[in-house]
Homo-oligomer: A and B are copies of this chain.
Amino acid sequence: MNSPNGKIAEIPLPEAEQKGLAASPGGFKIFNRIVDLITNDRMQLINVTERINEIVRKSGVRDGIVHLQSLHTTTAVFINEWQDALLHDVRSFLDDLVNREEYYRHNDPAHSDCERKNADSHLRGMVMGQTLCLQVRNSVVLLGTWQSIILAEFDGPRSRSMSIQVSGI
């Protein structure tokens, strides 16, 4: 959770265990997992890098692709440096990019039956994107020194799911 001073604590991510492995006779394989999370704030950034690396290790894929997809329109997945000061700037920037206080039809009972008043969350999720594709090299997600994988909650607190697919040889 985001404490007032911008710290983000690790959140336990109970993984929905699945039989996730499909393989072709030729050695190409696909490994699927769902990661479930509970978020604590309306806007929250969560570092999922280690979690993704655990899944890649379990997959048995040495070289290939890992595809991440958050299954919710009011979330996003992207890359940035994981530094408290910068994460504070990221939240401020996204707050400014989409002004929550403006008029939106999605928040207006005359036009919409959505009671969450979350048009801003939808627009943030749309701009940042809910999918991310990364290379797997030597059984590890390829990332630069300062790159972390960040899941963004834009309409929490909620229960959320990400689908992870590792494919390759």
Q: Which of A8-16, A36-44, A48-56, A121-129 contacts B (4 or more CB under 8 A)?
A: A121-129
Q: A80-B125, A125-B80, A142-B163 are in contact. Are A30 and B71 (CB under 8 A)?
A: no
Binding site for B on A (CB under 8 A): 6, 22-28, 30, 32, 62-65, 67, 69-73, 78-81, 83-86, 88-90, 93, 98, 104-106, 108, 111-112, 114, 119, 122-123, 125-135, 137, 142-147, 161, 163, 165, 167-169
| Contact residues in B for A147 (Cβ distance below 8 Å) | 71-73, 130
B72 touches A122 (CB 8 A): no
Chain B: which residue is nearest A130 at the CB level? Answer: B79
- The residue that A69 contacts in the complex, of B64, B106, B108, B135, with Cβ under 8 A, is B135
Q: Can you list the 6 inter-chain pairs with the closest CB atoms, starting with the nearest?
A: A26-B26, A71-B144, A24-B27, A85-B105, A85-B112, A85-B111
Could you tell me the dominant secondary structure of chain A's interface residues? mixed
Shortest CB–CB separation between residue A134 and chain B, in angstroms?
Answer: 7
Most buried by B among A93, A137, A142, A168: A93
Give the docked Cα–Cα distance between A71 and B32 (Å). Answer: 25
> Distance (Å) between the CB of A26 and the closest chain B CB?
1
* Neighbouring B residues of A79 by C-beta, 8 Å: 73, 126, 129-131
Q: How far is the CA of A143 from the CA of B72 in the complex (A)?
A: 8
A64 touching B30, Cβ below 8 Å:
yes
With A71-B144, A72-B144, A132-B131 in contact, do A165 and B65 touch (Cβ < 8 Å)?
yes
